[in-house]
Structure 1
């Protein structure tokens, strides 16, 4: 079958451009097979990374038809969809959120730098193995399997919306690794690791867009790892503790639950004052609300009254049950 491959070519500082290659290939061929064929038969200057060809090393991560994937894992027939405007065309580009070195090759150093920020190794104290073996139960080890499957390909990092808008965000790969260490019974720095991610560059910077779970080729489900990490952080702040005494991200979450529990949905008048202004304790936060409030007043969109939801009682019971089960 004839397939058109549209490949982004770039040699910085020059701008990127699309170049088309027509290839006679089979539906069962991998994208990496096709890239090899293009390089060997049509254009030897085409640059891309590869190594194991067996979804182990993660070297060949790139964007295929707009999403990050491993070229050695994706097959031509999977990428050709009849409902597309061009059903015989496959578009290939470099990973996102990383500087392009040439064509499909990106500079992975920012990726590694962000990973190092979570100190991704079992703590020194945990590595002091006594004379006998450092034992883990099967259940303890099984809990680490998903995160341990990460091959550090960068697919989740590439398609992370939070990283795109917030360069300080550590990235889903790093948070998945951080959670793996938090859950590891051999590590002795659980509290320190949880505290380190309790900020907007850590777990609270995640927008929960699900992209990382969608593109992960190994089933690590980084968003699930981030969620578990959040639960560990929230467990450090009991519900009895006043929201005024916690960080803004924690206050945001706790205030949201409290307002929904009391009225069935969020009372927007109180939300900003309680979260951003911390009930007036944060003057800068209070002042930051003024421009938005004035614009809302000017457009007649400021809610002067709040009407509780007709399902408030049901919502309250659901929240109470979740709290009783320890699932909040």
Structure 2
């Protein structure tokens, strides 16, 4: 992998190139600032970069078009796209607005990752990838967001994205209380519970990368469930129980999440949608027993079996979860073909051997559970 130093022009650098007269712009996070400091000597040095952009018109197959620019490491991808549109191809279509990581309009896939074009700069992207073999000119590939149909080029139809957001009723419900004359009050601590989820700018990056949504279009999506957690955590909202019942769905709701963590990885605002979904799951699990649904039973049985034996007793897991502790005849019969194949192939664990460290495992689980209980008691 080539560093930006190897991409800089050859020859002796001038004093102004080694020590640029202007400091690099302020970046959002400490990691970004550190990255800029590492490439600081070449931050303003011009370099040639090849931009490959996926172009597409309605009802036509996408095609890759290339544009070469002379840019600086500090130029954002959005600035580069603007130059392509203004200087080389005025037909290129993409969304943009604030240019400052506020509005979320310029979401797109940059080198295979969903991100904001106004936040990612050339230097950051080239540090992540190797220079291409095309005359050693580094290449940055730009594509439209995933899980949404393309309208034109980098512009996608976000109707489904917004429709799924509406499914979680993303507004504070006050049906159960009297409307005050002025406003609902919150303490600073209550308001601080909403800081992280309140940072969401609806850019669609998490939605674009969601594997669960790709294979299950019924899944409501990480953006919607992060907003759902924001509503549940809001002290002014009176619809928590109704909300949690609505989110407690095997396919559409929280249990449709595959916990791949892609949404956390790409979120430009550090909302951590996966963490918010986990908070919703905890609330739902606290309010329901193992008989409520297979999804809830799956989580509770797994923890109980690991506490009991140090790891999962596979003989019991299937019949407890799918067969509902031998109460669901249809579920038990559905396991028969798999069980028979496992027996005939010698894969069925006839005898279960507990883990040697089962006492330590049980102790760890109980300590975590006790900590969670005390933490919830303090937060109430």
Normalising by structure 2, we get a TM-score of 0.81
Structure index of larger Rg: 2
1:219 paired with 2:265, answer no
Give the whole-Å Cα distance in 1 for the aligned partners of 2:332 and 2:215.
Answer: 24
Give the whole-Å Cα distance in 2 for the aligned partners of 1:68 and 1:222.
Answer: 14
Give the whole-Å Cα distance in 2 for the aligned partners of 1:98 and 1:83.
Answer: 26
Name the residue aligned to 1:234: 285
CA distance 1:126–1:70, change in 2 (3 Å): farther
Q: Is the CA contact 1:114–1:171 (under 8 Å) kept in the aligned structure 2?
A: yes
| Mapping of residues 26-105 of structure 1, within 5 Å | 26-81=72-127, 84=130, 86=132, 88-105=138-155
Deviations 1:91-144 (A, max 9, x none): 110111111111111100000010000010011427853125321110000000
Shift in Å, 1:36 = 0.7
Structure 2 runs not aligned, ≥5 long: 1-46
Deviations 1:160-181 (A, max 9, x none): 1111111111111100111111
1:143 paired with 2:193, answer yes
| Mapping of residues 261-280 of structure 1, within 5 Å | 261-280=307-326
SS at match of 2:50: strand
Q: Is the CA contact 1:80–1:88 (under 8 Å) kept in the aligned structure 2?
A: yes
Q: Is the CA contact 2:220–2:253 (under 8 Å) kept in the aligned structure 1?
A: yes
Name the residue aligned to 1:121: 171
Superposition RMSD in Å: 1.7
Name the residue aligned to 1:179: 229
SS at match of 2:67: strand
Q: Is the CA contact 2:177–2:238 (under 8 Å) kept in the aligned structure 1?
A: no
Normalising by structure 1, we get a TM-score of 0.94
Q: Is the CA contact 2:212–2:257 (under 8 Å) kept in the aligned structure 1?
A: yes
Give the whole-Å Cα distance in 2 for the aligned partners of 1:127 and 1:152.
Answer: 29
Q: Is the CA contact 1:126–1:186 (under 8 Å) kept in the aligned structure 2?
A: no
1:248 paired with 2:294, answer yes
| Mapping of residues 146-165 of structure 1, within 5 Å | 146-165=196-215
Name the residue aligned to 1:6: 52
Deviates more, 1:161-170 or 1:274-283: 274-283
SS at match of 2:255: helix
Name the residue aligned to 2:65: 19
Deviations 1:250-305 (A, max 9, x none): 10000000100110001111111111121232233223323322332343212111
Shift in Å, 1:41 = 1.2
SS at match of 2:141: strand
Give the whole-Å Cα distance in 1 for the aligned partners of 2:280 and 2:141.
Answer: 36
Give the whole-Å Cα distance in 1 for the aligned partners of 2:239 and 2:319.
Answer: 35
Name the residue aligned to 1:202: 253
1:281 paired with 2:327, answer yes
Q: How many residues align?
A: 323
Give the whole-Å Cα distance in 1 for the aligned partners of 2:181 and 2:226.
Answer: 31
Give the whole-Å Cα distance in 1 for the aligned partners of 2:349 and 2:279.
Answer: 35
SS at match of 2:196: helix
